[in-house]
């Protein structure tokens, strides 16, 4: 997904001279086409994330569209105060790209995982957050990001994500996409965990359980209508996210339901637990440890349905 | 020296004294602190806003304006005072400083006409100023970017990140002014986190540096009229100042960072600043 992201960004930057790319020394092997095509709009500030965010803010306040791009937590934890005070408070038109959102950088360890970003970003006023599940969504999300006026967080995958959507999609910022239809249960997911969710729905279908699967690519502002419809029209809701359960996507869904006074027949949140582990392994292996691979998601859903 | 040439100095000193009086009244009536930090930069602001910055009070967002970022946002009261003096907004707004439903919050705020950027957490001003200066270079725009910083600002790691990057990109349209009053929130800077030797450190980071007396309007004017100090380098002007300057019982005291000016002290302080030359 990050390769596609960079390809689309270069195409967009060819047409729009306001687009800048601002890095903190991460992006090797991915950002070179931008660097070569637009050397005067490409800035690697060095390993200095606070300055990256401040410089991006200064560029944005002068009418440019800077894209801050680096791995996971480096782009939003180290420089959170700059994102809060400088970017969000001034509603600066800065784009924040979290590369590898979730556990994509598996065996690199805890320092390189991003499992708090949804909670943090959605608590920031004026920030919006899009977390595409596959290349089809990601391509459209890049354009949505560049069209949006104001702070925008793009939770990007890493590489080799399977396609969730089998054909062309109607991508609209803030509107969830129904991936498949079913009445027994709804899976609401965000991000690249989507392929596991779709595979889980396949497993359940073989047992005669038909699930609605919805990609909630825009986590903020969230599609309230799609969430309420899932509660009212199907046998329950399972949220799936590659993120901490505390304050994340499932929490956002629960907030919508409580605020709307709608109680789903069943409700379950799947995600990462409230502890830091020291498990060593690749992305998919880690997902499996946390019950986030297709067979385990299907098993959790079966237990919920009783 | 002609009369005209010396008039501006008198005017600048008077403006600095009026800034001080405004700050004393505002912090007294608003029951706010940080007055010592405001008093130390009165001459710097007076010179900037009458002699240096290309700004238009009738059109605060004029695209060709010079950008001025106050990184020491806690001293915002002094910038509000000079902006009111220059006619960016009505003088009465100063009476609403810190007040419920008022126009002016304690730390400097970009919703106020003439204020470029909100700060309040130290170490934020210079990186943003660097981004603005970089934008001007890339787009071939001629305005300059000024950033006024405090002792505490120069403690922050983010400031050093910006120092290195500004030199790397040869941003000679960027001017950092350091209001070096040598006292920070909890003590004397040399005791808390000694910044010295500062000039050689900055020069080693490829900045061009000048040191001046930050209360001498002629010295301030001379330094700021002659930027960049060196072509291809960002400029750093260390203005040696006195915290609480102009009020004898505040000068060089740690307590004037947070301390509130009560009625008795307000009157004494006003007498001093209003009778100053």
pLDDT band at A225 (very low <50, low <70, confident <90, very high): very high
Whether residues A146 and A6 share a domain: the answer is: yes
Of A126, A156, A186, the domain-final residue:
A156
Provide the 8-state DSSP code for A9.
Answer: H
Average pLDDT (B240-254) is 96
Average pLDDT (B30-35) is 92
pLDDT(B1) > 70: no
Number of CB atoms found within 10 A of residue A274's CB: 8
pLDDT band at B181 (very low <50, low <70, confident <90, very high): very high
Average pLDDT (B109-124) is 98
Residue A57 to residue B131, Cβ atoms within 8 A: yes
pLDDT(B275) > 80: yes
Please provide the average confidence, as pLDDT, over all residues in chain A.
97
Report pLDDT digits (tens) over A235-263. Answer: 999 999 999 999 999 999 999 999 999 99
CATH number where A51 lies: 3.40.50.970
Whether residues A127 and A191 share a domain: the answer is: no
Q: Is B129 on the interface with A (CB under 8 A)?
A: yes
**CA-closest candidate to residue B202, choices B149, B241, B256:** B149
The answer for B 166-225 residues in CB contact with A (under 8 A) is: 168-169
Whether residues A141 and A22 share a domain: the answer is: yes
Nearest by CB: B158 against A54, A58, A62: A54
Nearest by CB: B132 against A41, A43, A58: A58
Report pLDDT for B4: 67
CB contacts of A45 in chain B (<8 Å) are 161, 165
When scoring B73, B128, B205 by the number of chain A Cβ atoms within 10 A, the one with the most, hence best to mutate, is: B128
pLDDT(B69) > 80: yes
The alpha carbon of residue A55 is apart from the nearest alpha carbon of chain B, in Å, by 4
Whether residues A114 and A182 share a domain: the answer is: no
Q: Number of folded domains in chain A? A: 2
Whether residues A149 and A15 share a domain: the answer is: yes
Nearest by CB: A58 against B129, B161, B169: B129
Residue A164 lies in a domain: no
When scoring B111, B131, B144 by the number of chain A Cβ atoms within 10 A, the one with the most, hence best to mutate, is: B131
CB contacts of A60 in chain B (<8 Å) are 131
Sign of the dihedral defined by the CA atoms of residues A68, A69, A75, A79, in that order? negative
Average pLDDT (B243-265) is 92
Residue A271 lies in a domain: yes
Average pLDDT (A56-81) is 95
CB contacts of B118 in chain A (<8 Å) are 85, 89-90
When scoring A23, A48, A58, A84 by the number of chain B Cβ atoms within 10 A, the one with the most, hence best to mutate, is: A58
- Tokens standing for residue A94: 């800065």
Provide the 8-state DSSP code for A82.
Answer: I
**Residue A83 belongs to what domain range?**
2-156
Report pLDDT for B3: 54
- Tokens standing for residue A15: 């047409």
Report pLDDT for B260: 85
Residue A82 to residue B127, Cβ atoms within 8 A: yes
Residue B131 to residue A58, Cβ atoms within 8 A: yes
Give the DSSP letter string of A90-152: TT---EEEEETTBTTTGGG-GGG-B-SHHHHHHTSTT-EEE--SSHHHHHHHHHHHHHS-S-E
pLDDT(A292) > 80: yes
Report pLDDT for A301: 98
Whether residues A278 and A217 share a domain: the answer is: yes
Q: Is B115 on the interface with A (CB under 8 A)?
A: no
Nearest by CB: A57 against B123, B128, B164: B128
- Tokens standing for residue A296: 């385990």
HSE (CB half, 13 Å, CA atoms) of A199? 13
**Residue B87 belongs to what domain range?**
3-274
Q: Number of folded domains in chain B? A: 1
Residue B127 to residue A90, Cβ atoms within 8 A: no
Residue A58 to residue B110, Cβ atoms within 8 A: no
Report pLDDT for A73: 86
Whether residues A184 and A120 share a domain: the answer is: no
Minimal-distance CA residue of chain A relative to B168: A45
Minimal-distance CA residue of chain A relative to B125: A54
Q: Name residue, tokens 């605060």.
A: B60
Whether residues A11 and A145 share a domain: the answer is: yes
CB environment A87-109: b (16+ within 10 A), e (fewer): bbbbebbbbbbbbbbbbbbbeee
Work out how many CB contacts closer than 8 A connect A with B.
89
pLDDT(B5) > 70: no
Report pLDDT for A72: 84
Residue A233 lies in a domain: yes
Report pLDDT digits (tens) over A138-173. Answer: 999 999 999 999 999 999 999 999 999 999 999 999
CATH number where A223 lies: 3.40.50.920
Residue A55 lies in a domain: yes
Whether residues A30 and A121 share a domain: the answer is: yes
Quote ipTM for the complex: 0.96
- CA–CA dist A29, A91 (Å, integer): 31
Whether residues A242 and A141 share a domain: the answer is: no
Residue A220 lies in a domain: yes
CB contacts of B168 in chain A (<8 Å) are 46
Minimal-distance CA residue of chain A relative to B64: A62
Whether residues A145 and A275 share a domain: the answer is: no
Please provide the average confidence, as pLDDT, over all residues in chain B.
96
Q: What is the pTM of this model?
A: 0.96
Q: Which of A167-171, B195-199, B206-210 shows the lowest mean pLDDT across its residues?
A: A167-171
Residue A84 lies in a domain: yes
Percent of chain A with pLDDT strictly greater than 90? 97
CATH number where B84 lies: 3.40.50.970
- Tokens standing for residue A232: 């009212």
Q: Judge if the upstream peptide bond of residue B197 is cis by omega within 30 degrees of 0.
A: yes
Whether residues A184 and A279 share a domain: the answer is: yes
> What Cα–Cα distance (Å) separates residue A161 from each residue in A1, A214, A249, B214?
7, 17, 20, 59
Minimal-distance CA residue of chain B relative to A55: B131
């Amino acid at each position: 997904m990050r390769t596609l992201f960079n390809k689309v960004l270069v195409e967009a930057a060819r047409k729009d001279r306001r687009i800048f790319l601002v890095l903190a020394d991460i992006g090797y092997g991915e950002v070179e086409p931008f660097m070569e095509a637009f050397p005067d709009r490409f800035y690697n500030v060095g390993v200095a994330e606070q300055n990256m965010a401040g410089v991006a803010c200064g560029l944005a306040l002068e009418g440019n569209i800077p894209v801050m791009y680096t791995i996971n937590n480096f782009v939003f934890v180290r420089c959170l105060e700059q994102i809060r005070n400088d970017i969000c408070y001034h509603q600066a038109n800065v784009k924040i790209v979290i590369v590898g959102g979730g556990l994509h950088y598996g065996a690199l360890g805890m320092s390189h995982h991003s499992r708090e970003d949804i909670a943090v970003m959605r608590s920031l006023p004026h920030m919006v957050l899009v977390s595409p599940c596959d290349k089809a969504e990601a391509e459209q999300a890049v354009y949505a990001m560049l069209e949006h006026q104001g702070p925008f967080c793009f939770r990007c995958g890493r590489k080799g994500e399977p396609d969730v959507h089998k054909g062309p999609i109607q991508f609209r910022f803030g509107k969830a996409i129904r991936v498949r239809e079913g009445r027994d249960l709804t899976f609401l997911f965000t991000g690249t965990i989507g392929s596991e969710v779709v595979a889980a729905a396949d497993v359940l279908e073989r047992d005669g359980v038909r699930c609605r699967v919805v990609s909630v690519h825009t986590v903020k502002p969230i599609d309230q209508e799609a969430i309420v419809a899932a509660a009212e029209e199907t046998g329950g809701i399972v949220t799936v996210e590659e993120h901490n359960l505390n304050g994340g996507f499932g929490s956002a869904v629960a907030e919508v339901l409580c605020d709307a006074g709608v109680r789903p027949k069943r409700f379950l949140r799947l995600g990462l637990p409230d502890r830091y582990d020291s498990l060593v392994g690749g992305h998919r292996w880690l997902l499996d440890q946390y019950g986030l691979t297709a067979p385990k998601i299907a098993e959790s859903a079966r237990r919920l349905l009783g | 020296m002609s009369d005209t040439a010396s008039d501006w100095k008198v005017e600048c000193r008077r403006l600095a004294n009026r800034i001080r009086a405004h700050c004393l009244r505002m912090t007294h009536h608003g029951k706010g602190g940080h007055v010592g930090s405001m008093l130390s930069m009165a001459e710097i602001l007076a010179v900037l806003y009458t002699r240096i910055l290309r700004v238009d009070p009738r059109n605060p967002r004029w695209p060709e304006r010079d950008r001025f970022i106050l990184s020491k946002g806690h001293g915002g009261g002094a910038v509000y005072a000079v902006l009111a003096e220059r006619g960016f907004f009505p003088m009465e707004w100063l009476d609403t400083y810190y007040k419920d439903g008022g126009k002016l919050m304690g730390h400097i705020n970009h919703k106020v006409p003439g204020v470029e950027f909100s700060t309040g957490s130290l170490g934020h001003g210079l990186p943003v100023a660097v981004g603005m200066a970089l934008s001007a270079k890339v787009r071939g725009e001629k305005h300059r970017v000024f950033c006024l910083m405090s002792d505490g600002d120069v403690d922050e790691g983010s400031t050093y990140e910006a120092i290195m990057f500004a030199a790397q990109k040869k941003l000679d349209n960027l001017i950092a002014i350091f209001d070096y009053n040598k006292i920070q929130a909890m003590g004397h800077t040399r005791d808390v986190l000694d910044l010295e030797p500062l000039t050689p450190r900055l020069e080693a980071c490829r900045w061009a540096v000048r040191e001046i007396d930050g209360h001498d309007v002629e010295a301030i004017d001379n330094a700021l009229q002659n930027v960049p100090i060196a072509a291809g380098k960002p400029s750093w002007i260390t203005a040696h100042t006195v915290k609480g300057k102009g009020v004898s019982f505040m000068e060089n005291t740690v307590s004037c960072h947070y301390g509130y000016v009560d009625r008795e002290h307000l009157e004494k302080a006003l007498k001093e600043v209003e009778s100053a030359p």
